[in-house]
Structure 1
Amino acid sequence: MKRSILFDTETTGLDPARGDRVIEIAALELVGDLPTGQHYHVLIHPERDIPEEASRVHGILLSDLEGKPKFAEIADAFLAFIGDDELIAHNARFDFGFLNAELKRAQRPILSLDRMVDTLDIARDRYPGLPNSLDALCRRFSIDLSARTTHNALLDCRLLAEVYLELMGGRQRGLGLSVQDGGAVQVSYAYDCAARRTQHLVVPTSGELAAHTRFLDKIKDPIWTT
């Protein structure tokens, strides 16, 4: 089964080239697109201040990070967790940009963009003209957002894992274990049929419908208007 890593970061701002730093990393291990329960999570001291506008987004103050490790101190553990597997994130170029800036500063190998899977790109391809933020996708797929009062990397990863599964087709698997001769344990997965899934009616808002209409207006001679 394919292993991949779904991850998120929180930062002091929007641009690593202007001195903004990573202050939180969360990563979930997926096997066959499903979380295994293995995760990596760390708070990081940015070695600089955290602007008030950034704290309003993620709720993290510099005082919360006193005594926390610096990025260079956690770089090897992070790289060991992600291994060489593909890396999934929402608006992944943002997170890759920050992590590569930190890795370069810590004199560690940077992450190849060939490993990047961007759920924002996937959502835009699937739902052109509609809002595709993490919040919007959670609402579209009826995923509970009640705990998301601020951006939190670990919570966002768990929400994105549910969104990613839906974007990949909403597959549900049953896990089976069997003991072979000699005591070896074999793991097998069985796919549930679509009829066993809970169906959710997705009703677009008036704003989403208007955005979709504007997108369709840009297409030259669409066949559905003839």
Structure 2
Amino acid sequence: MPRQIVLDTETTGLSAENGDRIIELGCVELLSRKLTGNNLHLYLNPERDSHEDALKVHGISNEFLRDKPKFAEVVHDILEYLRGAELIIHNASFDVGFLDKELELAGLPPLAAHVDGVIDTLAMAKEMFPGKRNSLDALCDRLEVDNSGRTLHGALLDAELLADVYINMTRGQDALLIMDETANGEGGVKVAAVDLSRLVLPVLLASDQELAEHEDLLAQIDKSSAGKTIWRTRAEAQKAMP
């Protein structure tokens, strides 16, 4: 299983194309579907003020960000952390769009050139829960992930919550099936080998009371069908055989 990074950003507004910038980046690492503690959390000076509506969402003041590093000053550290990983992002087009714009401003290739791929948990949720609310808060409630500490949006906290949500959404998917790349690059699926030689299944025998209740139920069914139940007809046929 590839190294996975659950990623979230906070921004000055909603449009990277119109000049909005990233002000916070939060990432948590998953190895074999377990949090490693190798996180990346940065506040960034966006060189502009946040929109009033954005401030209400993340609560990060313009003054707080004044002395923080600019994205271009830490971009190589960010890319080194993300390099080769599979990213897990909720509403991925939003965060990827902002990251691509920041990389463009730094004179670097887009995000896809540095990572192994992106999983959009919003797209996953829409497929799993069609017609339902699929915000991060809604998914936390539905999947019983504790988000009681989330009063404002914060990139690191949201990434940690999303990691729990993703693990719950995909629980059991990799138990017996593993993805495999064929020689020509086409994706295939193969069944993982499972050693059953040491598996001992307990045999639970019915009690006398359970057997009697079973026979009574069969008799009631047989009576209501006028003796035409399959076990009665087969039993009579076997008796008639020489």
Task: Give TM class, smaller chain.
Answer: 0.7 to 0.9
Instruction: Show the counterpart of 1:130.
Output: 132
Paired residues of 1:88 and 1:116 also in contact (CA < 8 A): yes
SS at structure 2 position matched to 1:8? strand
Q: Do the aligned partners of 2:58 and 2:154 also contact (CA within 8 Å) in 1?
A: yes
Deviation at 1:144? 1.3
Corresponding residue for 2:108? 108
Count of residues in Structure 1 that have an aligned counterpart in Structure 2? 173
Tell me the equivalent position of 2:70. Answer: 70
Aligned ranges for residues 109-188 of structure 1 at < 5 Å?
109-112=109-112, 115-169=117-171
CA separation in 2, counterparts of 1:170 and 1:36?
Answer: 20
With structure 2 as the length reference, what TM-score do the two structures score?
A: 0.69
Q: CA deviation at 1:18?
A: 0.5
State the alpha-carbon separation in 2 of the partners of residues 33 and 168 from structure 1.
10
Give the drift of 1:170: 6.2
Q: Which is greater in Rg?
A: 2
What displacement does 1:2 show?
2.3
Higher strand share: 1
- Is the deviation greater in 33-42 or in 95-104? 33-42
**Contact residue 9 and residue 25 of structure 1 kept, 8 A:** yes
Amino acid aligned to 1:145: N
Q: In the superposition, relative to structure 1, how do residues 8 and 110 fare at CA in structure 2: closer, same or farther (>3 Å)?
A: same
Native 8 Å contact 1:9 1:23 kept in 2: yes
SS of the counterpart of 2:46? coil
Q: Distance in 2 between matches of 1:170 and 1:21?
A: 38
Deviations 1:36-77 (A, max 9, x none): 110001000000111211110001111111210001001000
**Deviations, residues 96-135 of structure 1 (Å, cap 9, x unaligned):** 0000000010112211197111000111111111111000
The aligned counterpart of 2:189 is none
Conservation of the 8 A alpha-carbon contact between 1:75 and 1:108: no
**Letter aligned with residue 164 of structure 2:** E
CA contact (8 A) 2:2 2:86 kept: no
| 2:33 equivalent to 1:25 | no
Match of 2:36, SS state, is: strand
Structure 1 residues 43 and 82: alpha-carbon distance in aligned structure 2, compared to 1, 3 A threshold: same
Does the aligned pair in 2 maintain the 1:34–1:161 contact within 8 Å? no
Q: Deviations over 1:162-197 (max 9, x none)?
A: 0000111168x9xxxxxxxxxxxxxxxxxxxxxxxx
TM-score between the two structures when normalised by the length of structure 1: 0.73
What is the SS of the residue equivalent to 2:134? coil
Partner of 1:24, secondary structure, is strand
3-state SS of paired residue (1:130): coil
Identity of aligned residues (%): 49
Contact persistence 1:6–1:88 (CA under 8 A): yes
Question: Which sections of structure 2, spanning at least 5 residues, go unmatched?
Answer: 176-242
Runs of 4+ residues over 4 Å off in structure 1: none
